[in-house]
Amino acid sequence: MLEIIAERLRQKHRTLNFPKVQPVMPDRFRGRPELHPERCPEGCRACLEVCPTGALARIGGHLTLDLCRCLFCPECVAACPHGGVAFTRDFRLAGRTRQSLVLGSGAEALATALDARLAKLFGRSLKLREVSAGGCNACEADANVLTTLVFDIGRFGIEFVASPRHADGLYVTGPVTGNMREALLKTYAALPEPKIVIAAGACAISGGPFIGLPEAGSGTDPHIPVDLYVPGCPPHPWTVLDGLLRLLNRL
């Protein structure tokens, strides 16, 4: 016990005063992408052809990037000789609708708050039951990191609980494989009303690299309604926390 106390004194206070103080992301962090279609010569498809999930597309001649599908890999940046795609260090990515996560569509927007009734109900106390619906454990691991000293999600009244009977919402990771589909539906049904659903990671939103495979599924919303989409592969803990606080009108 004395060793634990001594180590805590050595480490000092490590929780970031978020959201009053914004985190400084490392140089290697790949955050919200930027599109520069004016740099792309007509007919160039270099970035589109290397995208592993078809996140990049040309719609009506305009370059778009679907964050629902994006794995935040650097393949498009490496393939584009003109700098048409670049990654910033902006960790704010979460949205309320899938259309709001399509960059270049004109509809992109960060997450907005729940309606006044739900925001009042969940704003100071939100209990989430996590369902790993066939995930690789990356999104699950970063969700676990949210409970550590640096992020300390509990200070906002947000906690992960062991039973859906004790939860206000679901935190879904993974593409919802065939083996996990029934478990997800039963867990959702066990939640008391009203309830919310957060789809975290490219797999939970769209199926990620497994899009179109019948064994893997295509994400959460074909099965249950989703209130918050958090892109990433996996989404950074700050991205998750920012999205949750926006949803709860805590920013």
The domain spans of the chain are: 116-247
Question: What's residue 129's pLDDT?
Answer: 97
Q: What is the chain's mean pLDDT, rounded?
A: 93
Residue 36 has pLDDT above 80, yes or no: yes
Residue 67 has pLDDT above 90, yes or no: yes
Beta-carbon count within 10 A of 251 CB: 14
Question: What's residue 4's pLDDT?
Answer: 80
Residue 6 has pLDDT above 90, yes or no: no
Question: What's residue 44's pLDDT?
Answer: 83
Identify whether the C-beta of residue 97 lies closer than 8 Å to the C-beta of residue 110: no
Task: Classify residue 127 as exposed, middle or buried by CB count within 10 Å of its CB (0-12, 13-18, 19+).
Answer: middle
State the Cα–Cα distance between residues 26 and 21, nearest whole angstrom. Answer: 16
Confidence of residue 10 (pLDDT cuts 50, 70, 90): confident
Question: What's residue 80's pLDDT?
Answer: 87
- In this prediction the pTM is 0.93
Average pLDDT over residues 237-250: 96
State the Cα–Cα distance between residues 72 and 233, nearest whole angstrom. Answer: 7
Total residues belonging to the chain = 251
Give the range among 31-40, 64-73, 192-201, 239-248 with minimum mean pLDDT: 31-40
Q: Does the domain made of 116-247 have the CATH classification 3.30.43.10?
A: no
Confidence of residue 165 (pLDDT cuts 50, 70, 90): very high
